[in-house]
A and B are shown apart, each in its own frame.
Chain A
Amino acid sequence: MRIPLLDLDTWQEILDTVRKNKLRTLLTGFSVAWGILMLIVLLGSGQGLTRGVEYGFRDDATNSIWVRSGQTSLPFKGYRPGRQVQFTNEDYDLIRAGVPGVDHITSRFFIRGNLAVVYQGVTSSFDVRSVHPDHLFLEKTIMVEGRFLNPTDLAEYRKVAVIGNRVKDQLFKAKPAMGEYIEIKGVPFRVVGIFTDDGGEGEQEKIYLPITTAQRTFSGANRVAMIMMTVGDASVEQSKAISQELKHRIAQKHEFDPGDARAVFISNQVEQFQRYVELMSGIRLFVWVIGVGTLLAGVVGVSNIMMIAVKERTKEIGIRKALGATPWSVMSLVLQEAVLVTAVAGYFGLVAGVLLLQLMAQSLEKSEFFRNPEVDFGVAVTATLILIVAGGVAGFLPARRAAAIRPVEALRDE
């Protein structure tokens, strides 16, 4: 018995048919190519959106929890609402020592007033953050020269600064910055490190100071503006529990109602990120559904045209049967034609889709929400498999109809 798929003659036979029906084949192929093109473009766009979101999260650790203080909005134990909650170093110590699951922790203190930064007569204004050494992990700061702040800096109230590479460029131009002194509000700080940050130009225009030094130098007492921590590889549930515990501890210490939504603001990045991940997988699913739907429309088109083709070829198929064609050989003829047309046309659609995505990637490079749309190998393989299956599905009904053609009826002369 001949195995049709491996039989050169069968392919020759199909190619013959295809060649003799160019327009029909072309139209059929186009709908499939279009379908797969849409699928690829949609999938690539979905990928672009995902990358955009990931890019949005690139700046900070995605496993972090940020705590900011607010004003109470509920009365509690005789206190009236509207009280300002002020974090201090004590809160930092409390969380570091008392809340389990916290990995790296830092607080931030902001210096009030004009922040003119001066180096040898060059003045510029930068955002200055006074932080703990762990801040490095929270902001995903990347050191390019020197070091980040260390515990000794804090313990000895050293007047040292770590500056972003854009700060360095603006103040020092081409001159070396390491070991030089910059003046912040008139106070000299020695540059001990230069960093960069994936978070964009803004994040590279920061200056980090030891929090203890800043508090003492700029009359901050023990005040802290916010506290940030990472929670290791905690799950969403665990991170929520940690948030809960944080709120509970802070409420206890500052004496406000733990149910007060405005006394502290806790933003849980784990949860946020998870939400985005879910949103993205939702978008991906949506894209697949739309894409496969489009492809399905193409498949229905192929099926339809093949159906008409089989009808047109009724006589020919009848002749073939009279000459000894088995139902199976007729069926495989139609089926293979469908698969061949779908596969070849689909491949063109695939290539066109990939090219289109590349074009999109080039023209949209700077966008924040949409980055590097492309399809990976897995998607291409999946699309190919879908194509072959689609071809089979498209060919099945027409093939069955072809196989069922009775030579007597096909050959009737009237």
Chain B
Amino acid sequence: MWGERVFSLIPVSSSPPSPPLGSNRPMLSLRNIQKRYTVGANKVHVLKGIDLDIAAGELVSIMGASGSGKSTLLNVLGILDNYDTGEYLLDGQLIQNLSESKAAVLRSKLLGFVFQSFNLVAFKTAAENVALPLYYQGVGRKERNRMAEEYLERVGLLDRAAHLPRELSGGQQQRVAIARALISKPKVILADEPTGALDSQTSLELMEVLRQINASGVTMIIVTHEHEIAAMTQRTIRLRDGLIERDLAA
């Protein structure tokens, strides 16, 4: 609630690149985000001032060499990590110095994650993995299981519902992870090298799945180092040394 108010205090004119798709409020909005890490005695300036707006429904890829700060940026976007200075608004809410519990609630409500190494819980079946976010939202067991099946069906894996992750191929595991990211009906999906562990054919299939999801209205941000993957998105943001080097719409 106060997130809305804080947002309303920011003059619209101060957000330089006007958001595309005619939306008057960007889904994600970053102003001069800076982030330093202390590594031993050294302070590493990872993010040196990121200004970025991503509108609802966009399909964006973030590219950059290793050490460019793209993973850190994704962590900040995913409220998995704090930033030092600047301002980050997610769906109109100011994300700043949140307590762990508040961050957890916002993640649960707004965000879905897809990871390079899938990150399924090894001892839970595909269906149980998919249902897990709903558990943390307090959804009842029956409803959870019903929805888990529904989302597994969407990614074409209903017949694998009772399988453990190790019994699934990489592409299948990633589809389970996507179903899990989708089940909480997030506004934004953050994918960190989602195809990094997959062969090229499977990668293409997976990207097709992600594009379909995006087409249904979910904002999608994909971190990748593969040009073919980036080429399948609408907009590519290239990071270099903690700054946005290029921001190109396809």
Q: Are B81 and A322 in contact (CB under 8 A)?
A: no
B180: nearest chain-A partner, CB-CB: A323
Q: Do the beta carbons of A326 and B124 come within 8 Å of each other?
A: no
- Among the 9-residue stretches B4-12, B97-105, B207-215, the one with 4 or more Cβ atoms under 8 Å from chain A is B97-105
Residue of B108, B132, B135 most packed against chain A (CB within 10 A): B135
Tell me if A289 is interfacial: C-beta within 8 Å of chain B. Answer: no
How many interface residues does chain B have, given as a range? 20 to 34
Q: In the complex, what distance in Å separates the CA atom of A85 from the CA atom of B47? A: 105
Report A317-343 CB contacts with B as 1/0, cut-off 8 Å: 011111111111100000000000000
The complex places the Cα of A16 from the Cα of B180 at a distance, in Å, of 19
Within 8 A of A (CB), among B157-182: 180
Give the docked Cα–Cα distance between A334 and B100 (Å): 17
Total contacting residues, chain A, CB less than 8 A:
29
Let me know if B101 and A322 touch, CB within 8 A: no
Rounded to whole angstroms, the CA-CA distance of A244 and B97 in the bound complex is: 79
Question: What is the predominant secondary structure among interface residues of chain A facing chain B?
Answer: helix
**Given A316-B122, A319-B119, A408-B81, is A326 in contact with B133 using a C-beta cutoff of 8 Å?**
no
B57 on the A face (CB < 8 A):
no
> Could you say which residues of chain A place their CB within 8 Å of the CB of B108?
323-324
- Residue contact A411 to B104, C-beta cutoff 8 Å: no
| Shortest Cβ distance from residue A48 to the other chain B in the assembled complex, whole angstroms | 46
In A15-42, the 8 Å CB interface with B consists of: 16-17, 20-21
A316, A326, A328: the one contacting B121 at CB < 8 Å is A316
Kindly state the separation between the CA atoms of A15 and B4 in the bound complex, as whole angstroms: 41
Given A315-B119, A323-B108, are A329 and B78 also a contact pair (CB < 8 Å)? no
* Complex: A82 Cα to B133 Cα, angstroms: 96
Q: Is the CB of A413 within 8 A of B113?
A: no
Contact B115 A411 (CB under 8 A): yes
Q: Chain B, 170-213, contact with A by CB distance < 8 Å: what is the 0/1 string?
A: 00000000001000100000000000000000000000000000
Give CA–CA (A329, B137) in the complex, Å: 11
Q: Give B112-164 interface residues, CB cut-off 8 Å to A.
A: 113, 115-117, 119-124, 128, 132-133, 135-138, 141
With most chain B CB atoms within 10 A of its CB, the pick from A9, A323, A406 is: A323
- The residues of A that contact B107 with a CB separation of less than 8 Å are 321-324
Tell me whether A326 and B119 are in contact (CB under 8 A): no
Q: Which B positions have Cβ atoms within 8 angstroms of A?
A: 75, 78, 80-81, 100-101, 104-105, 107-109, 113, 115-117, 119-124, 128, 132-133, 135-138, 141, 180, 184
Given contacts A21-B123, A324-B104, 13 further A-B contacts (CB under 8 A): A16-B123, A16-B128, A20-B123, A316-B122, A322-B119, A323-B107, A323-B113, A323-B132, A323-B133, A324-B136, A324-B184, A326-B104, A326-B136
